Amino acid sequence: MNDMSAALPPFDENTAEAFSATVAETIDAAAVAIMISVGHRTGLFDVMAGLKPSRSGQIAEAAQLTERYVREWLAVMVTGGIVNYDPETGSYHFPPEHAACLTRGAPLGNFSVAALAIPLVGGVEDRILSCFETGEGTQYGDYPCFHHMMAEDSAQTVVAQLFDIILPLVPELQDRLEQGIDVLDAGCGSGRALVALAARYSASHFTGYDLSKDAIESAKRSASAAGLHNTTFEVRDLTDFDSPNSFDFVTSFDAVHDQKDPQSLLTGLYKSLRQDGVYLMQDIGGSAHLEKNMDFPMASFLYMISCMHCMPVSIGQGGQGLGTMWGWETAEEMLKIAGFSEPERHVLPHDPMNVWFVSRKNG
């Protein structure tokens, strides 16, 4: 690394001290985020949600974990304002209002899943530092178990809302699925959405393509465990995707922006649809313009994921590196270039972070 140190110009000390306090709070919050990830992966949040105020030993026993480690984790949770502590009784309490966004199946969504990304991308920091110097990118294999995190996220943002909220965005779709159509999920990951669809609509056939071998193997296991015979999962690089007139319904969930060539993929997906076919695309709903994202939910987190994963993965394939926050404006324009003349844009009331496009192949 180059030595970038230099004498600072004159500055206002009061402003500088206030900002240094902000930085300290940010670092402290990052420490809490890592421990939120630990709480999710160990199941401690789920265990504590079902306990009355308890001592560390009782919590460790209920979670089948070692007390000393649990006690230290609890200290972070208490100082981070997530768990309450009564020093007189030595007991810890996880308020239900906090559990409402930090447990599996949480009614407000499980933010613990997002916290998984913090230690995960930290593991590739040295590789990304090298990319800063060389301009190179990364490969999917550089992120062990990333597809597990995405599968958990998909379970709550897509699968949990699939039948009651998402599919009704296309009014006639559920009737067509009942009758029997061919469906493709491009960038299917671990296949949770397709498995759910295939279980509900036995007359239709569901195909999932993804570049990750581990994700596809996971999808196959899930389909087999569910006893499904109407699914096909295949490891496939979607660069230059070409399968004309093969599908009636195509989906992609948070998958387009980190492709090598998103425009080529969207054009290929348009061509893959049969007449009157429908393409449903979900992606991050931020703007292409930084200044419009200042109040966007978790914008800094999303730009971080972009810098550490989505952008370098695209560059690593020889792509443009559009990044996570490529913007709904960019997505809409690319859909039009692909051939979809009037894509419909939807933002769901329960999920302001994502945007959903319904695009039809007509004429």
Listed by start position, the domains of the chain span 13-105, 121-360
Distance CA 214, CA 145 (A): 8
Q: Are strands 354-360 and 344-346 parallel, antiparallel or unpaired?
A: antiparallel
Helix locations, the chain, DSSP H = 13-42, 44-49, 56-63, 67-79, 96-99, 112-115, 117-122, 125-134, 146-157, 173-179, 192-200, 213-225, 262-272, 299-305, 311-316, 328-338
Write the CA distances from 11 to 6, 8, 17, 84, 153, integer angstroms: 14, 8, 11, 40, 44
Q: Hunting for tokens 């649990």 — which residue is that?
A: 70
User: Which one-letter amino acid corresponds to residue 266?
Assistant: L
Tokens matching residue 363: 């004429």
- For 19-70, write each residue's pLDDT tens digit: 999 999 999 999 999 999 999 999 999 999 999 999 999 999 999 999 999 9
Alpha-carbon 28 to chain mean position: 24
Distance CA 128, CA 73 (A): 29
Please report, rounded to a whole number, the percentage of residues in the chain having pLDDT higher than 90. Answer: 86
Q: Mean pLDDT of all residues in the chain? A: 94
The CATH architecture one would assign to domain 13-105 is Orthogonal Bundle (1.10)
Residues in the chain: 363
Q: Which CATH class is domain 121-360?
A: alpha beta
- Quote the pTM value: 0.91
- For 205-224, write each residue's pLDDT tens digit: 999 999 888 899 999 999 99
Question: What would the mean pLDDT of 176-186 be, rounded to a whole number?
Answer: 98
